[in-house]
């Protein structure tokens, strides 16, 4: 039987409980991407095509983001109180049933409700899944494990897109079923199948249960308001603990800036850079490739555990600067280059941020911490989606120079927000970062600081002597 002590880095997705949980997540993520594209197609069918199709896409998008505003922390309370294996299992089975329900959707209300409930189950599953990861592998492998996990979440997007295209072709040859025919219905059937496979994997996987402190167990037996108290305790923990708060807000800020770029990327390419749809495709592809390579790079350098905070801060700072330079780009190729670096910084920041939360948060609070992270991330995306278009229109012709174009101004301001947060996180973490430097490194930094101070003083003295000579 596999044990943590026997696990080696290269075996993370080959054997053991973590490997099975990883494959479960990868398979269900693939189904999620297929459903996302299928729900867009379904929205277009419901709207009847034409101009209404672009507005119809907002229904499944808002349905995926809005649950964070309503019940973002609830999944964390369940993950820290209930059986994590049961949470994973029932979430997969529930989503399988809901995926089948999409076959019978014929209006926007039904589409929104099913999307909303499906996303709620995803938000219940995610904190439980993240909370259990550090109990399956040693801390030295967490950076690699998180890189692999995030790659499975987002790296399956192009595969999901290609699968959706293939499934619509296969579905068109099947007998009629579903409200809008088998070409879309086949995608939802496939999604239901992926959730069932994921549930089967979880069923035969040993998942450690949460270790609830004795005081909390006693409170649970005597107080029916204990879940609410857990919710409040979790909120206090993530908002009052400086290092945790910095990580969560830093990742949310990165999504805020990136979300603005995502929303107005197409008008930026067409209206500002005067490019075709292929130009926007190049920019979007560069961003995706950058994210993938950033995550892959951190995964390969998985031994950099002692530099997580420094790496997170610098990656966030680099992401903000890259977004700012993207806003000032004058050609598609330059914009694509800077969005590539935006993606790299985002990928590195996310992997290191996840790893830091896994390594530093106690098991009894881990579910609520990750629930807060997912909730803040979705809220940041929703706010950036809402403000990007409005801000571009409001700032058009207001600022000077190249920022006179409202679309450029929104991208630059979004990058500036990420940059400022990156600097703030780096500054706030200075004492913790100093702890990772040895005596020789600290001495070198002190000598460099003294040298800079001396040179400033020398220049000041030289300037004074020149002023005295001029006065004579």
In whole angstroms, what separates CA 416 from the centre of its chain? 19
C-beta separation of 26 from 129 below 8 A? no
Count the neighbouring beta carbons within 10 Å of the beta carbon of residue 165: 11
Residue 308 has pLDDT above 60, yes or no: yes
Please tell me the distance from the alpha carbon of residue 6 to that of residue 137, in angstroms, as a whole number. 10
pLDDT at 290: 87
> Which of 159, 168, 67 lies closest to 113, judged by CA?
67
C-beta separation of 302 from 144 below 8 A? yes
Span 129-145, mean pLDDT? 82
**211-236: pLDDT as tens digits:** 665 555 545 544 556 666 666 676 67
The sign one gets for the Cα dihedral 118, 120, 121, 127 is positive
Percent of the chain beyond pLDDT 90? 9
Q: Which residue has the tokens 């609070």?
A: 365
**252-299: pLDDT as tens digits:** 888 777 777 777 777 888 788 887 767 777 887 888 888 888 888 877
Q: Which residues of 242-252 are buried (b: 16+ CB within 10 A; e: fewer)?
A: ebbbbbbbbbb
Please tell me the distance from the alpha carbon of residue 12 to that of residue 25, in angstroms, as a whole number. 14
User: What is the DSSP annotation of 294-329?
Assistant: HHHHHHHTTT-GGGHHHHHHHHHHHHHHHHHHHHT-
Span 418-432, mean pLDDT? 80
Q: Give the residue ranges of DSSP H helices in 204-331.
A: 214-222, 226-240, 242-263, 265-267, 277-300, 308-327
Residue 34 has pLDDT above 80, yes or no: yes
> Which of 39, 128, 31, 45 lies closest to 79, judged by CA?
128
Query: Counting Cβ atoms within 10 Å, is residue 51 exposed (0-12), middle (13-18) or buried (19+)?
Result: exposed
Residue 77 has pLDDT above 80, yes or no: no
Q: Give the residue ranges of DSSP H helices in 102-141.
A: 108-132
C-beta separation of 324 from 416 below 8 A? yes
Q: Which residue has the tokens 């966030």?
A: 316
Helices 226-240 and 242-263: crossing angle in degrees, nearest 10, is 80
Span 108-126, mean pLDDT? 88
pLDDT at 194: 92
Ranking 30-39, 149-158, 225-234, 409-418 by mean pLDDT, the lowest is 225-234
> Which of 431, 252, 209 lies closest to 357, judged by CA?
252
* pTM for the whole structure: 0.73
The sign one gets for the Cα dihedral 430, 434, 440, 446 is positive
> Which of 372, 349, 346, 371 lies closest to 128, judged by CA?
371
Radius of gyration over every alpha carbon of the chain, rounded to an integer in angstroms: 25
> Which of 212, 201, 166 lies closest to 34, judged by CA?
166
C-beta separation of 320 from 419 below 8 A? yes
> Which of 423, 426, 399, 422 lies closest to 411, judged by CA?
399
Residue 199 has pLDDT above 90, yes or no: yes
Domain 8-210 top-level CATH class? mainly alpha
> Which of 383, 51, 415, 411 lies closest to 264, judged by CA?
411
Residue ranges of the chain assigned to CATH 1.20.1250.20: 8-210, 241-449
Span 10-16, mean pLDDT? 70
pLDDT at 132: 86
**318-337: pLDDT as tens digits:** 999 999 999 888 888 898 89
Say whether domain 241-449 belongs to CATH 1.20.1250.20: yes
């Amino acid at each position: 039987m596999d044990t943590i002590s026997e696990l080696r880095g290269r075996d993370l997705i080959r054997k053991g409980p973590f490997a099975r949980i990883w494959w479960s997540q990868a398979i269900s993520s693939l189904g999620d991407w297929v459903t996302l594209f299928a729900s867009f197609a379904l929205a277009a069918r419901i709207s009847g095509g034409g101009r209404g199709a672009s507005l119809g896409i907002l229904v499944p998008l808002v349905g995926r983001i809005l649950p964070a505003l309503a019940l973002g922390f609830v999944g964390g309370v369940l993950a820290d109180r209930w059986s994590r294996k049961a949470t994973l299992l029932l979430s997969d089975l529930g989503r399988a049933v809901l995926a089948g329900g999409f076959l019978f959707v014929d209006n926007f209300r039904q589409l929104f409700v099913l999307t909303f409930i499906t996303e709620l189950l995803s938000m219940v599953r995610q904190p439980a899944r993240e909370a259990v990861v550090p109990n399956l592998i040693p801390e030295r492998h967490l950076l690699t494990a998180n890189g692999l996990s995030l790659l499975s979440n987002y790296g399956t997007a192009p595969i999901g897109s290609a699968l959706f295209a293939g499934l619509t072709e296969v579905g068109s040859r099947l007998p009629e079923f579903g409200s809008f025919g088998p070409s879309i219905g086949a995608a939802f059937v496939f999604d239901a199948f992926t959730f069932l496979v994921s549930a089967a994997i979880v069923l035969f996987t040993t998942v450690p249960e949460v270790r609830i402190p004795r005081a909390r167990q006693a409170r649970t037996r005597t107080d029916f308001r204990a879940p609410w108290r857990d919710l409040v305790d979790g909120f206090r923990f993530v908002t009052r603990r400086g290092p945790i708060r910095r990580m969560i807000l830093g990742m949310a800020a990165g999504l805020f800036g990136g979300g603005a770029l995502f929303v107005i990327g197409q008008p930026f390419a067409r209206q500002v850079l005067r490019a075709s749809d292929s130009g926007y495709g190049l920019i979007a592809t560069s961003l995706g490739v950058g994210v993938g390579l950033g995550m892959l790079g951190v995964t390969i350098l998985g031994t950099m555990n002692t530099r997580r905070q420094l790496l997170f801060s610098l990656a966030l700072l680099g992401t903000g600067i890259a977004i700012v330079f993207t806003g000032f780009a004058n050609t598609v190729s330059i914009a694509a280059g800077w969005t590539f670096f935006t993606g790299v910084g985002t990928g590195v920041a996310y992997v290191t941020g996840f790893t830091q939360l896994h390594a530093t948060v106690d098991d009894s609070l881990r579910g609520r911490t990750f629930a807060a992270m997912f909730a803040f991330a979705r809220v940041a995306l929703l706010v950036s989606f809402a403000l990007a278009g409005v801000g571009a229109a409001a700032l058009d012709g207001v600022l000077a120079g190249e920022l006179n174009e409202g679309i450029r101004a929104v991208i630059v301001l979004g990058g500036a927000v990420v940059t400022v947060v990156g600097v703030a996180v780096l500054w706030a973490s200075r004492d913790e970062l100093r702890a990772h430097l040895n005596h020789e490194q600290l001495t070198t930094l002190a000598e460099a600081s003294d040298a800079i101070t001396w040179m400033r003083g020398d220049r000041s003295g030289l300037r004074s002597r020149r002023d005295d000579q001029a006065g004579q």
